[in-house]
Structure 1
Amino acid sequence: MKVLHLPAETGTGHNMRVLAVATKLRELFPHAEQHVHLASKSEVFRPMFEAQDVRVHLAATERDHANTSQLGRSFDWHTYVSGYLDRTFISGDKMLRALALINETRPDVVVSDYNIAASLAAETAGVPHVLITERYDFTLGQVSNDALAAAGFDVTPAEVDAARSALTTLFDWVTRRAHAVLTDKPPVEELDLGTPVLRAIAAGNGHFVGPIVRDACAAEPAPRAEVDERYGLGGAPYVLAGVGGTAMFAANKERLLAHYLEAFGKLRAEHPDARLVLIGRQEFTEEIDGVVLLNYVTDWHSLVRHAHLVLSPPGWISVTELAVMRTPVAYVLSGRDEYHEIEAMSRLRLLGYTTVTEPDAQALLDILRTAFRTPEDFARTAEGAARIIAPNGNGAEVAAKLVAQAATTARIHREDATAA
């Protein structure tokens, strides 16, 4: 069996999800030949994939999506399609590069993690593909023009409507052509009715498999003493806060970092022993009393499991990992103009989580005070919502078996064609 993994190039969640599938495939099918193309945080992920004997192919260039703005204030065909989608998700260059890699590796199946260019390349090459997606449609398909205008964008309705219609048509075609469509996001009818993925689930080739995460999420955490030693926490209660891996506007991330620090400074006046572990997706040179500043942490599971509270952006791989770990969490969206997370925040709110959009320091302080005053409230809320997101624990094994099924089916068809 030969598998080519082609995760989308934005953020790190797509890499993490593919890593979980590749790891489970290696466990279930030790002799499988696996390849992956990396175009995001390859210096972090390359050794992680190579540890699973996955052959890594690197993009010629990479873009830091956490520290660069993706959009401007105008929202029209040029700024959104030409200026954003063309360099992140869909372009002739990306499709042809994916096609060249398919021709080079000759896989039995292509695994596309929300990489539409890869799905198109697989179809062109006549190779079955499995689509893994945390989106039920392209993001724009579930965000209205009114929501964009309310977020501060200058919307050109006719052009945005045309883009939305074209993208939904494309996504619908991709989901219908996929051997299997796997999602780690539980359906919510009022958000997903009429979407391509919900139609795929109804048609039988779509599957909600639950979280597609590494086994470490469900494993016993390292002892608190080891976490304290590694991060210098000294046994103190701590809050873990993050900013996310993709920002539409870099200023939103910087403002959120400042509000985290301001809110925590005020919390420390009431709880002097409290600590903050802040994952900021950048290199820090300053030192702040009571604050541990980190760039990025791949093995954050023990850090999460011992935290008093997690403040997390709504990136879905983080959501699923936190659900598996049954973590007390509040979800934070840095700005209303981070349009790509509006749907996720709506879903998380409907599932019962504590959510806050575009918070100032006072709003964050209110959440922190509640977590320190009545921690059982956050634990109870997170437990109920997590059972919906992760009803059967980790879905990586189900995903790996469906990928293997697609590869086996392709091989049988190929052998039948040769025999004929």
Structure 2
Amino acid sequence: MKVLYLPAETGTGHNMRALAVAAKVRELFPESEQHVYLGSKSAVFTPMFEAHGVQVHVAPAERDHANTSQLGRSFDWTTYVTGYLDRTFISGDRMLNAVALIASVRPDVVVSDYNVAASLAAEVSGVPHVLITERYDFTLGQLDNDSLVEAGFIIGDTDEVDAIRSSLTTLFDWVTRRARAVLTDKPTVDQLDCGTPVFRAIAAGNGHFVGPIVRDACAADPAPREEVDERFGLAGSQYIVAGFGGTTMFTENKDRLLANYLAAFEKLRAAHPQARLVVIGRQEFTEDIDGVVFLNYVTDWHSLVKHAKVVLSPPGWISVTEMAVMNAPVAYVLSGRDEYHELEAMRRLALLGYTTVTEPDAATLLGILQDAFSASDTFTRTTTEASRAIAPTSNGAEVAAKLIGQAVAEARAHAEPAGVS
């Protein structure tokens, strides 16, 4: 079996899911040949894939989606479709590049992680494809115009935005119907998902909620606290992990969130002088602040998280699933309402029972930290109950790998001439 992974190029979560699945495919199908195309953080992920015997193909140019603003305040066809979607998810350049790569690799199956250009390329090339998706529709399909206005966007022509939304849903519906299997790591919430393409795929039988598609390290025992302390300089402390990386629509939101993290931490230390703050931000830091450890990107953050007193995290879905498996004491933080791509995730997490805050000031963040540092275990119990819905099993990557293998076997059987067994 030859597998080609084409994860979306907008963030590391898509790479992480592909990595988790590739590791399980290697275990279950040791004779398989695996390839991956990386357009994000290839320097970080290349050795991780190669460690599992995956041949890596790297994009000629990578775009940093974490530290550049993706949108403007006006929301219309030019700014959203031409200026954003056309260079990320629905790109003719990316689709043709994928067609060329498919022709070169000649895979038995293409595995697209929320990469519509890859799904289209597979269909054009006549190769079966499996869609892994953290979304039940394109983001805009689950947000109405009022939500966009409330988030601060200016909509000049509502009919035009409605046309974008319906066109995207039509495209995503076609992709899910053409996929040999649609695999999601998001549990269904009826009030959010009814009528969406992935909801319909699950009802039709080719869609599957497989649970968290994460690496085995998430469920493994953490490294001893002493090792974590030595690596990150945290000896003798109770510490907070605070993240604010990932794909960003407006960089000023990240800047404001970091400032409020630091202000809340400074006030917390008045009552908890032993506290430390570990900031993970997908960028290089020059700050030197007492009690604060700044980190760019940590691939093996599991032990760091498992020993943390509390985690403050954006709702990037791979982080959500990893922390659910780790049963981390987490609160989810959205830096701005105009980070429209994460509004749906925040609504879902709130409905599942997590603590969620949008555009929090320092006082709000301080309240969460004080709850986590209090003698009561209420905060921990709340997150534990919510995490069970996200992670009913410890790892859905094995389920995903089996379904990919099944899709290949069924495609081969269908291709055999009549009477051949």
TM-score range, shorter chain: over 0.9
Question: By how many angstroms is 1:286 displaced?
Answer: 2.3
Answer whether contact 1:2 1:407 (CA < 8 A) is retained. Answer: no
Provide the residue aligned with 2:237 in structure 1: 236
2:236–2:274 Cα contact (<8 Å) kept: no
1:375-414 mapped onto 2 (5 Å cutoff):
376-414=377-415
Partner of 2:174: 173
Question: Superposition pairs for residues 16-415 of structure 1, below 5 Å?
Answer: 16-155=16-155, 156-374=157-375, 376-415=377-416
Tell me by how many angstroms 1:18 deviates.
0.5
Shift of 1:409: 2.1
Q: Aligned-pair distance for 1:158?
A: 1.3
Q: Deviations over 1:87-125 (max 9, x none)?
A: 010021111111111111000000000000000011111
Q: CA deviation at 1:375?
A: 5.1
> 5+ residue gaps in structure 2?
none
Say what the alpha-carbon RMSD is for the aligned residues. Answer: 1.2
2: CA distance, partners of 1:161 / 1:86: 18
**Residue identity opposite 1:406 in structure 2:** A
SS at match of 2:299: coil
Give the letter for the 1:272 counterpart: P
List per-residue Cα deviations over 1:356-388 (Å, max 9, x = no partner): 000111111111111111451121111111111
In structure 2, C-alpha distance between the alignment counterparts of 1:46 and 1:299, rounded to whole Å: 15
Name the SS for the 1:3 alignment partner.
strand
Task: Give, in angstroms, the shift of residue 321 of structure 1.
Answer: 0.3
SS at match of 2:56: strand
Answer yes or no: is the 8 Å Cα contact 2:232–2:293 preserved in 1: yes
Aligned partner letter, 1:238: Y
Contact 2:349/2:356, CA 8 A, preserved across alignment: yes
Counterpart CA distance in 2 for 1:20 and 1:418 is 38
Q: Contact (CA 8 Å) 1:6, 1:118: kept in 2 or not?
A: yes
C-alpha separation in 2, matches of 1:53 and 1:102: 19
Give the paired residue count: 420
Distance in 1 between residues matched to 2:31 and 2:293, nearest whole Å: 42
Name the SS for the 1:6 alignment partner.
Answer: strand
**Secondary structure of the residue that 1:283 maps to in structure 2?**
coil
Structure 1 residue 417, shift from structure 2 partner: 7.7
1:103 alignment partner AA:
A
- Once the two structures are TM-superposed, the CA of residue 411 in structure 1 deviates from its matched residue by 2.8
TM-score by length of 2: 0.98
Contact 1:244-1:315 within 8 A present in 2 as well:
no
Q: Deviations over 1:125-163 (max 9, x none)?
A: 111100000100000000110000011100131111000
Q: Distance in 2 between matches of 1:334 and 1:190?
A: 24
Runs (4 or more) in structure 1 with deviation over 4 Å come to 417-420
Residue 231 of structure 1 aligns to which amino acid in structure 2?
A: F
Distance in 2 between the 1:317 and 1:143 partners?
21
Alpha-carbon distance between aligned partners in 2 of 1:235 and 1:224, rounded to the nearest angstrom: 10
Deviation at 1:242, TM superposition (A): 0.2
Residue identity opposite 1:45 in structure 2: F
Taking a change above 3 Å as real, the CA distance of residues 236 and 344 of structure 1, as seen in their structure-2 partners, is same
Q: TM-score, normalised by structure 1?
A: 0.98
The 1:203–1:274 alpha-carbon spacing in structure 2 relative to 1, beyond 3 Å, is same
The answer to whether the 8 A contact 1:315-1:341 is kept is yes
Kept in 2, the 8 Å contact 1:109–1:410? The answer is: no
Answer yes or no: is the 8 Å Cα contact 2:11–2:40 preserved in 1: yes
Q: 2:10 is paired with a residue of what secondary structure?
A: coil
In 2, the alpha carbon distance for the partners of 1:244 and 1:385 equals 23
CA deviation map 1:284-306 (0-9, x unaligned): 12211001100000000000100
Aligned-residue offset at 1:412: 3.0
